[in-house]
């Protein structure tokens, strides 16, 4: 078991939208440039990162209605979806959090954007906020 971190840096804020192009427009007006869109089949989403340097915004649009983000949009509409923190080792942090009683969505890391590894913690554990851990893939990547 690893010790508790001093504090994970915020990596990005996830925002659910029905459409990545339309969803990026207000942020472009605020001066946040949009990166290329990327499809993540494992999560049933297309994503697009906005901003350069510092914490970024991740726009998420569902590939289908019967996906987590599709269900989120159907029940709540567009809006804040998750906070993502950058960690060195997603699997080790999951193990530590499990041992401390955290409720996990993902029992083990899965593939995220840009080849990263990600895992989600259940919002019922974290005050109603979906939390994502994001870390580098073994052997490199994001």
> Does residue 132 touch Co ion according to CB under 5 A?
yes
- Examine residue 14 and tell whether it contacts Co ion (CB under 5 A): yes
Q: How far is the CB of 61 from Co ion (least distance, A)?
A: 13
Nearest to Co ion of 81, 97 (CB atom)? 81
From CA 80, how far away is CA 95, in angstroms rounded? 27
Residue from 17, 24, 50, 84 in contact with Co ion (CB under 5 A): 84
Question: Residue 134 Cβ, how far from Co ion at the closest point, in Å?
Answer: 7
- Nearest residue to 38 (alpha-carbon basis) of 54, 60, 57, 14: 60
The CA distances from residue 6 to 2, 37, 87, 119, in Å, are 12, 33, 11, 20
For Co ion, which stretch binds (CB under 5 A), given 1-9, 21-29, 56-64, 100-108? 56-64
């Amino acid at each position: 078991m690893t010790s508790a971190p001093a504090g994970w840096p915020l990596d990005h804020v996830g925002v659910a939208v029905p459409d990545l192009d339309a969803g990026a427009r207000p942020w472009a007006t605020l001066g946040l440039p949009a990166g290329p869109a990327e499809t993540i089949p494992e999560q049933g989403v297309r994503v697009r990162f906005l901003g350069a340097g510092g914490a970024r915004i991740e726009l998420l649009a569902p590939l289908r209605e019967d996906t987590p983000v599709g269900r989120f949009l159907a029940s709540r509409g567009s809006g804040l979806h998750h906070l993502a923190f950058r960690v060195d080792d997603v699997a080790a942090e999951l193990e530590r959090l499990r041992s401390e009683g955290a409720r996990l969505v993902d029992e083990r890391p899965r593939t995220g954007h840009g080849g990263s590894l990600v895992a989600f913690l259940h919002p019922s554990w974290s005050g109603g906020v979906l939390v994502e851990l994001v870390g580098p893939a073994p052997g490199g990547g994001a």
